[in-house]
Structure 1
Amino acid sequence: MPGCVIHGQGDLRVDRLPVPEPGPGQALIAVRYGGVCGSDLHYWRHGGVGDFRLREPMLLGHEVVGTILAYGSPDTSGPAVGTAVAVHPATPCGSCPECAAGRRNVCRDTRYLGSAARFPHVQGGFAAQVVVPIEQLRPLPVGLGLRRAALAEPLSVALHAVRRAGEVSGRHVLVTGAGPIGCLVVAAAKAAGAARVTVTDLLPTALEYARVAGADTVVRADDPADAGWPSETDEVDVAVEASGVAAGLDTCLRLVRRGGVVVQLGMLPPGPSPFAGNLVVSREIELRGAFRFDTEFDEALRLLAAEPAFDGLVSAVVPVTDAEAAFALAADRSRSCKVLLDFGA
């Protein structure tokens, strides 16, 4: 079967892999779609993401949906064979202090599909068939198709970031970065009752996708004269940094009101990152991190089932045989938002 494997920086291959066999407590899934994530692009372009570096070939992918083909044992309790499912990519350990405190998304010993955070690496889901624990299966709600359901994982990330921000209902939210995650933060903030969402980015195409997601105001990040910038009479209550660059964090800190909240969601480059730390002190700004998600995955599926407008964020569906072209397209934000690999053929 075909599988999308990263062998090193710039070395992405569609390898022929053996079909896996499910064991007890596991299910074999026929993958239909896999969303190309920013972290997948980092492994391809840079050989790692953040502080996680490739040390061996790794099957990429953690945004996968498909149908159940079989279980590893006949007495396994789970959705019926043939059920359409989304795959929650995380398997927390369940025993560390973070898991005990209900913060399983920062579990110190978690396994996450397609991640080089541990060694041996956790192989991902970009293959025609994958084996996953049955606890990670989520049947799709009525009315939700596999194509739109492929957005469940990144939408969960966005929902968690908005939850980390605290109360956003009736408030003005700033999002820096209008990539797929930033656009989904817009949708998550609006779903949480935000009165206004302003989005900044360098690219006009990205800002148009932000409008599709529900942004009220879009601003060119490189145009200080843009009339859409927040002002002293139009303060930002909450800012979510979704670009993964230090300049975005600086914008958030300078535009959020005194006593406001800034959520750092984008993964910054490895090593120290400069930021306006004195503003955190003098304005008592709360700077919070947001990493992955937990129970938000189920919330994401419900939200996707209820809102067909999410379809507009899927900019292309590419056969897995053209994986490198799909990655190049996903990396070109002037031409794309969310790109899906299609394993259906």
Structure 2
Amino acid sequence: MSMSLPASGPAVVAHGKGDLRIEEIPLAAPATDEAIVEIAYGGICGSDLHYWLHGAAGESILKEPMVLGHEIVGVVVQPASDGTGPALGTPIAVHPASPAPGDVRYPEDRPNLSPGCTYLGSAARYPHTDGAFRRYANLPSRMLRPLPANLDLRTAALVEPASVAWHAVSRAGDVKGKTALVIGSGPIGALVIAALKRAGAARIVAVDMHDKPLEIARAVGADEALKGDDAMAIAGVDADVVVESSGSHFGLASAFKGATRGGKVVMVGLLPSGPQPVLISLAITRELELLGSFRFNDEIDEVITALADGSLYVDPVVTHEFGLAQGVEAFEVAKNSAQSGKVLLNFRQ
């Protein structure tokens, strides 16, 4: 089955440091296992901002222009010709990872750790993997997750980052009845709080340097909110579980200080590459369990269910919405973490 689609369409393309453009790019013919998806919404992620602001995200350096975007939802307008994946008209969320085993050892039940894994909108490999901040995108059918009829596309735009948060909380094990501390209350931190709330944490304390993120944190379930420079209050939390989502060594130090003896610290905020100063002596003497958390696996299916049944409450996390033509302005707003939470691009405007 096919439909008449334009030969090209607008997309958000990072050309290099400080060079973000909304430009027309061709729509290639899809591979047999690819569906054509009409993109409805895309959420701007920290990695998207890094490619724009720095020409790199961590050690993934832009070597050629790349379409950004991996937090995307839309509707199938042409199913994969090999018969796989959702049917015509199905609203979908996207799992943006393509695991690639390679010859490096990793746990088979954790494909997020596969050494050759690629991600939509990532410059980790060359040629780069284009993202899907565009009107129409060819996407492998295996990436597509059908959405329940009662889950609107705007809410579903948070499926991907909520899955990152859900995975981070799951790394801590059972949090029911426990005290949880979240360092950094940007979009991922706020979604971690929502996931902790759903998982039954008894007390959730949010930390951030700015008022707006703390306001959002309270709205999604934080019981208390602390400023990031209030070292005494953070140390007094005595948390069973700490989730570090600020991505700074200052945040990691706060995480260690705020953790109870024998507690767990989940590190989901990606610190800059290279050596980092760390209060490691405190982790040793308190026998803290340090747990890395990277992307997610099949948690995306649980997240979709939880968003659809209302048990995962995320509405306050989205603070702004822009049409594609205002894409550069949207990125400017998204980089100001003191004023914005999750910023969405509406590709239908």
Q: TM-score range by the shorter chain?
A: over 0.9
Task: Tell me the amino acid that sits aligned with residue 113 of structure 2.
Answer: V
> Which residue matches 2:3?
none
Contact 1:84–1:146 (Cα < 8 Å) also in 2: yes
Aligned to 2:144: 137
Deviating beyond 3 angstroms after TM superposition, the runs of 4 or more aligned structure 1 residues are: 94-100
- Alignment of 1:77 onto 2:117: no
Indicate if the aligned counterparts of 2:79 and 2:86 stay in contact, CA closer than 8 A: no
What is the aligned partner in structure 1 of residue 23 from structure 2? Answer: 15
Q: Distance in 2 between matches of 1:63 and 1:99?
A: 26
Report how far residue 291 of structure 1 moved: 0.4
**Which residue does the alignment assign to 1:179?**
186
Deviations 1:171-193 (A, max 9, x none): 10100001000000001111111
CA 1:17–1:220 in 2, change beyond 3 Å: closer, same or farther?
same
The equivalent residue for 2:213 is 206
Q: 1:336 aligns with which of 319, 333, 340?
A: 340
Q: Does 1:39 align with 2:39?
A: no
Give 1:232-243 correspondences, 5 Å limit: 235-243=238-246
Residue number in structure 1 paired with 2:261: 258
1:286 to 289, 292, 305: 289
CA displacement at 1:49 relative to structure 2: 1.4
Correspondence 1:105 to 2:112: yes
| TM-score using structure 2 length | 0.94
CA distance in 1, matches of 2:326, 2:190: 26
Q: CA deviation at 1:334?
A: 2.1
Shift, 1:98, TM fit: 5.6
Question: Does 2:249 align with 1:246?
Answer: yes
1:253-283 alpha-carbon deviations (Å, 9 max, x no partner): 1110111111111111222110101112111
Give the letter for the 1:197 counterpart. Answer: I
- 2:271 maps to 268
Task: Describe the shift of the 1:9–1:303 C-alpha distance in structure 2 as closer, same or farther (beyond 3 A).
Answer: same
Superposed, which structure 2 residues align to 1:188-207 within 5 Å?
188-207=195-214
Give CA deviations for 1:31-55 in whole Å, capped at 9, x if unaligned: 0100000111111111111222111
Change in Cα spacing, 1:98 to 1:212, as seen in structure 2 (3 Å) is farther
1:235 to partner: Cα distance: 2.0
* Counterpart amino acid of residue 35 in structure 2: A
1:230 Cα deviation from its structure 2 partner: 5.4
**Partner Cα separation in structure 2 for residue 59 and residue 104 of structure 1:** 24
Counterpart of 2:6 in structure 1 is none
The residue matched to 2:314 in structure 1 has which SS?
helix
Is 2:107–2:113's contact at 8 Å kept on the other side of the alignment?
no
**Matching residue of 1:48:** 56
Q: For residues 93 and 224 of structure 1, what CA distance do their matches in structure 2 show?
A: 43
The 3 A distance-change label for structure 1 pair 224 and 275 is closer
Of the three residues 214, 220, 227, the one matched with 1:220 is 227
Q: Counterpart amino acid of 1:321?
A: A
Instruction: Give the 3-state SS of the residue equivalent to 1:166 in structure 2.
Output: coil
Give the C-alpha shift of residue 70 in structure 1. 0.6
In 2: Cα distance, 1:252 partner to 1:99 partner: 27
Give the Cα separation in 1 of the matches to 2:69 and 2:327: 12
Cα distance change of structure 1 residues 165 and 96 upon mapping to structure 2, 3 Å threshold: farther
After superposition, the C-alpha distances for 1:90-128 in whole angstroms (9 at most, x for unaligned) are 111256666662110111111210011111111101111
Distance in 1 (alpha carbons) for counterparts of 2:173 and 2:336: 33
TM-score by length of 1: 0.95
Give the distance between the partners of 2:108 and 2:283, measured in 1 at CA.
27
> Which letter does structure 2 place at the counterpart of 1:114?
G
Stretches of structure 1 lacking an aligned partner (at least 5 in a row): none
Q: 1:68 aligns to what? A: 76
